[in-house]
Copies of this chain bind each other. A is one copy, B any other.
Amino acid sequence: MKSGRGRIRRRGRAPKGPIIINGLKREIPPYEMMNEEGLDLIEEKTEEILQEVGVEFRGDDEALKIWKDAGADVKGCRVRFDKGHVRSLVKTAPSTFVMHGRNPRRSVLVGDDNVVFCPAYGSPFVSDLDKGRRYGTIRHFQNLIKLAYMSPWIHHSGGTVCEPVDLPVNKRHLDMVHAHMKYSDMPFMGSVTSRDRALDSIEMARILFGEEFVNQNCVISGNINMNSPLVYDGAMSGALRAYAEANQCPVVVPFVLSGATGPVTIAAAIAQSLAEVMVGVALGQVIRPGSPAIFGNFITTVNLRAGSPTFGTAESVAASYVVGQLARRFNIPLRCSGGFTSSPCVDAHSTNESVNSLNAAVLCGSHFVLHAAGWMESALTVSYEKFVIDADYLGSLHKFVKGVSVAKEQFTTESFLEAGFGGHFFGCGHTLEHYQDAFYESELFTTPAYEQWEEEGGADIAKRANAKWKAMLQEYEEPALDPAINEELQAFMHRRKNEMPDIWH
């Protein structure tokens, strides 16, 4: 099976020209919610979990061998760590690195005060106001990539922007990676659902970027979820290894539903999450010290009556702030939150949770925000309307993180005399000088007079969003891709598809 990969001639090209780092540059400090004593205590408890409980690696003998060689206490598939061991291993992870797009002007800096917004990930369904909710397809997948590509506020093409269930489970990763390469020129994520699919994804990246460039630079990343509590299954740890071996970026993300897949108290859930993510990042560092990694956080709550997950809640937002503080102690780029909601539709409920989790992501100091646009119904659905509403709000966040400038020209005493007591500033010289950059102007938060709004049908924002995404898809223009490279990509996909029977479930 692997033989199919090696035969490709790679004429892929390193991105040419000056690299312009895209993303959002935070100029305000993160919010420090917890005091240092509290953070120390959580770290202590994390060490206790690593030492006394440990983590299981199931179905991945290679990972177990790596841990044994690294000096961990391996019994069966259970791996325990002496105090400070994992912490010492993650130290080689870089605090910042560049994720390259095939368009060098769309490369992103991960780390420092930079924030990268990516679309939602992993929903089996899509929805829009016209046809409601239905299964995702490769066509929808492509549409969502196009919308992300066109938004000035999204910096990364994402990964499984929806699940293209019209394609075989074992082959769709090829079409997904190809769609990111063809319909966008931003960085993107590859497959993680098995080690082989991860290897295919990386191989396609080599075709696009050239083998040597990929060996030296991060061009693809993989979203590695664990089976919380405290289990890495072989598919995920195998994929993690594939990315680390290739010097590409595993985004290591526990999935801690406090009360279900983690303790019901947030402090303990954070300690668990920290243990899980440290082990994943450490595995990558043992395999290839200095390879890029992202420190993930996904702690949310459950409705304890129904057992269903809840998002953007008070407790999960608080968790993000604390995790942000902890991640800064490790000095590894942080992935946190996104525009989450459990609401089945675009309404006052969905936005509440979505805004709360997005805001927490930005103020807690995240560097990489997956699910920043489109997420709906506890990740079961990606909504076209919510996608553009969220993206519009990401624009507002770009403004927010600049804070309040106190540069000299921001102040004006004379314009008070110019406006006059009780007067207005519309025509003042100071206003005319500054109005263009003064405020973020939302495209969707319109404020017509009530009578006009009512006369025009009394539409809520979802209807305006519906018109917006359709217009965007109509205006979409594909970024040029070298036809020879595209041919190579297709040849590779063709060969790999022929090597496997279709699997549908």
Q: CB within 8 Å of B: which residues of A? A: 28-29, 31-34, 37-38, 41-42, 45, 48-49, 52-53, 55-56, 58, 78, 133, 227-231, 258-268, 270-272, 301-310, 313-315, 317-319, 322, 342-353, 355-356, 359, 363, 377-378, 380-381, 386, 389, 393, 396-397, 399-400, 403-406, 410-413, 415-417, 419-426, 428, 430-431, 434-435, 438-441, 444-445, 447-448, 450, 453-454, 458, 460-462
Contact = CB atoms under 8 A, between A and B. Distances in A.
Give me the 10 closest cross-chain CB pairs, A-B, nearest first.
Answer: A347-B460, A314-B400, A314-B399, A349-B461, A231-B422, A351-B351, A348-B351, A342-B447, A265-B410, A38-B406
Contacts of A462: 347-348
21 contacts: A31-B31, A45-B413, A56-B422, A229-B425, A259-B435, A263-B431, A264-B431, A264-B434, A265-B434, A266-B405, A267-B405, A268-B412, A271-B411, A305-B441, A313-B439, A318-B403, A348-B389, A349-B445, A351-B355, A352-B355, A359-B359
Nearest to A228: B422
B32 A400 contact: no
Contact of A267 (B301, B348, B406): B406
A159 B462 CA distance: 33
Nearest to A317: B400
Contacts of A259: 425-426, 431, 435, 438-439
Contact of A421 (B230, B350, B445): B230
Given A351-B351, A440-B314, A227 B422 contact: yes
A465 to B, nearest CB: 8
Given A314-B397, A348-B348, A229 B416 contact: yes
B440 A315 contact: yes
A345 B229 contact: no
Contacts of A430: 263-265, 268
Contacts of A356: 355, 359
Contacts of A405: 265-267
Candidate in A309, A348, A351, A421 with the most chain B CB atoms within 10 angstroms: A348
